[in-house]
Structure 1
Amino acid sequence: MKKLFLSIILSVFIATVSLAQDSNEKIVVKEKTFQLFGNHWIYQKYSDKSWTVNTEECSHVIVEIEGAKKRRYEKSLNIDLGINTWANAPSLPAIKPWGSWNIGLNYQHIYSMGKNFTFNPALGVSWYNFKLEDADLIPIKTDDGILFESFEDGEGTKSKISASYANLSLIPSYHSENGKIRIGLGPYIGYRLGGRGKFVYKDAEGKSHKKYEKSNMYSNDLRYGGRLTLGVGEVDFYLNYDLNPVFQTGKGPEVNALSFGLIL
């Protein structure tokens, strides 16, 4: 009687902390047997991550418990692929979209917050590239700040400023019932890892040369702003807007970065 009572108590406890699942026509991927309270128990795990524990050795009781391990979150590695531009800069050198790439690698967790909402924190690294439309303008770092000067010793073919950042984003998202529409909006913050200026030109003989400014080009050490994500069907888009300027105060133009593109 004591063994029977303990067996029933154990089965009720396990059933309380597990999620009931249908185990018909499931593939067994793992099986173990063990002795407990004088009974012979069988544990089976199935391909869909559900499991059962059962015993038939007690003469008056057949116990079978089913359940599945609940995952607290899902995780993914996403790639941002888009372009950068400068916002609020009508009188400054124009940015050429083709070549001003915005590339990001983001390791993301997806926590369920109900039927239609998720919370998506992510850690990642991103690269800013700002390619000038006028390839003859060379960005020069001086003690007073960044200057954009016309290059006179040849023909400029490429002129750009770049910086890399480690980022943290916290994006709550809404999902439609069928998952075909997804909208997220939240903050991000980044810390600068590196930066440089690059200028490519041809001399009078047509030979190509490269000049690098291996410094931060007065890019801000911190960046912060808002991120909007939009998913339609199988395609996802993003838009990032920095709320603080690209350059340090007094060292460069008062411009903000705007980035947009695809999430792969």
Structure 2
Amino acid sequence: MKQPTIILLAMLFSTWSLGQVEETAPQTKTTVFSIFDTKIEKTDHGDGRKTWEFSPKKRTYEESQKEEKNNKHSGDLSFDIGINTWVPSGEAPKVRPWGSWNPAINLRHTYQPNKNFGLSTLLGVSWYNFKFEDRNLQALRTSQGITFEEFDGQGIKSKITASYLNLAIVPSIASNNGKFRFGAGPYAGYRLGGRGKFVYNDDNGNRNKVFERANMFANNFRYGGRLEIGVGEIDLFVNYDLNNYFQKDKDPKVNALSFGLIL
């Protein structure tokens, strides 16, 4: 009886000792992952406790150089909204500012090696709208060119339009705090479409629309200079075509001028 009792006590003591070891030395599990440039270590201590450690992720020299290079390049989508006019204004029908819109959508890529200098490349589409001040003046396309004739009735709206695919390169400078920006550069464009539109009321008071579906002799190509000025959060643009708006010998001889906001 004495020997089995001793053996049983020894087994109980061993089991109790092992249990004590497991409680005092629980297994730990560490998980490491990264979010952006932050290294995160999550440690599960096995006894219900969890700890988190956050530290900046160490970057290699190649990664640092790549990030510095990428910071010099940026791209975004910008919008121009402005108005059009003709220069000299006396050579063509007077246009109404409200309604002679010049909207444009541009993909803009900017290379900025430092805070004072930048080089922007713009690729986009713009629309010329020239709405005549005289609502009874109708633009007509003839074999000799474009003509403007008085309508015998009640005109409501008269305008001609043209759209262009454009490419512009604009170097710019900026103040140290970036509150003032100035840029100027060339652009060129290829005509995508164009038409004329005349709206009038007939003798019964019904509204009618007449469209000239063909191009109203707007030049197939345009080229000129673009000016950009920024003050604070406001950016303005001015575009001036150096070539005539209308094709050669299709009259009148005028240049297109546009100005407005960059959004």
Cα–Cα, structure 1 residues 53 and 146, in superposed 2: closer, same or farther, change >3 Å?
A: closer
Q: Is the 8 A contact 1:52 1:66 kept in 2?
A: no
- Structure ID, larger Rg: 2
The 1:66/1:201 distance shift into structure 2, 3 A limit, reads: closer
**Structure 1 residue aligned with 2:58:** 52
Q: Is the 8 A contact 2:115 2:178 kept in 1?
A: no
* Structure 1 match to 2:99: 99
Q: Deviation per CA, 1:49-85: give whole Å up to 9, x if none.
A: x85259xxxxxxxxx9983622041011100000000
Asked if 1:243 corresponds to 2:242, the answer is yes
How many residues align? The count is: 213
Q: Structure 1 residues 184, 151: CA separation in 2 closer, same or farther (over 3 Å shift)? A: same
Partner SS state of residue 67, structure 1? helix
8 A contact 1:135–1:157 mirrored in 2 = yes
Q: Is the 8 A contact 2:91 2:253 kept in 1?
A: no
1:127-142 alignment, distance < 5 Å? 127-142=127-142
What is the root-mean-square deviation in Å for CA atoms of aligned residues?
2.4
**Larger proportion of helix:** 2
Give 5+ residue unaligned stretches, structure 2: 1-33, 40-53
| CA deviation profile, 1:133-186 (whole Å, cap 9, x unmatched) | 00100000000000000011x311100000000000000001110000000000
Q: Within 1, Cα distance between the matches of 2:187 and 2:250? A: 24
Query: Counterparts of 1:7-22 in structure 2 under 5 Å?
Result: none
- Tell me how far apart the structure 2 counterparts of residues 170 and 53 of structure 1 sit (CA, whole Å): 35
Q: Is the 8 A contact 2:128 2:163 kept in 1?
A: yes
Equivalent-residue separation in structure 2 for 1:103 and 1:220 (angstroms): 19
Show the counterpart of 2:13: none
Contact 2:126-2:164 within 8 A present in 1 as well: yes
> What secondary structure is seen at the aligned counterpart in 2 of 1:147?
strand
Contact 2:91 2:252 in 1 (8 A): no
Specify whether residues 65 and 103 from structure 1 end up closer, same or farther in structure 2 by C-alpha distance, changes over 3 A only.
Answer: closer
State the secondary structure of the residue aligned to 1:90. helix
Distance apart, 1:89 and its partner CA: 2.9
Offset, 1:115: 3.5
Q: Which amino acid aligns with 2:252?
A: P
Q: Distance in 2 between matches of 1:91 and 1:122?
A: 31
Q: C-alpha distance in 2, partners of 1:249/1:91?
A: 14
Q: Matched residues in 2 for 1:88 and 1:53: separation?
A: 60
Aligned position for 2:120: 120
Which amino acid in the other structure matches residue 160 of structure 2?
I
CA contact (8 A) 1:51 1:66 kept: no
Work out whether 1:29 is the aligned partner of 2:36.
Answer: yes
Tell me the secondary structure at the aligned position of residue 93 of structure 1. coil
Q: CA deviation at 1:88?
A: 1.1
Aligned residue number for residue 147 of structure 2: 147
Aligned equivalent of 1:35 = none
Counterpart CA distance in 2 for 1:29 and 1:178 is 28
Compared CA separation, residues 239 and 65, structure 1 to 2 (3 A): closer
Name the SS for the 1:225 alignment partner: strand
Distance in 2 between the 1:65 and 1:118 partners? 25
Matches within 5 A, 1:224-235: 224-235=223-234
Which segments of structure 1 move beyond 6 Å, counting only runs of 4 or more? none
Q: Distance in 2 between matches of 1:170 and 1:183?
A: 13
Counterpart of 2:167 in structure 1: which amino acid? L
Structure 2 residue identity aligned to 1:243: L
Question: SS where residue 158 of structure 1 aligns?
Answer: strand
Question: How many Å separate the matches in 1 of 2:184 and 2:63?
Answer: 39
In 1, distance between residues paired with 2:73 and 2:92? 45
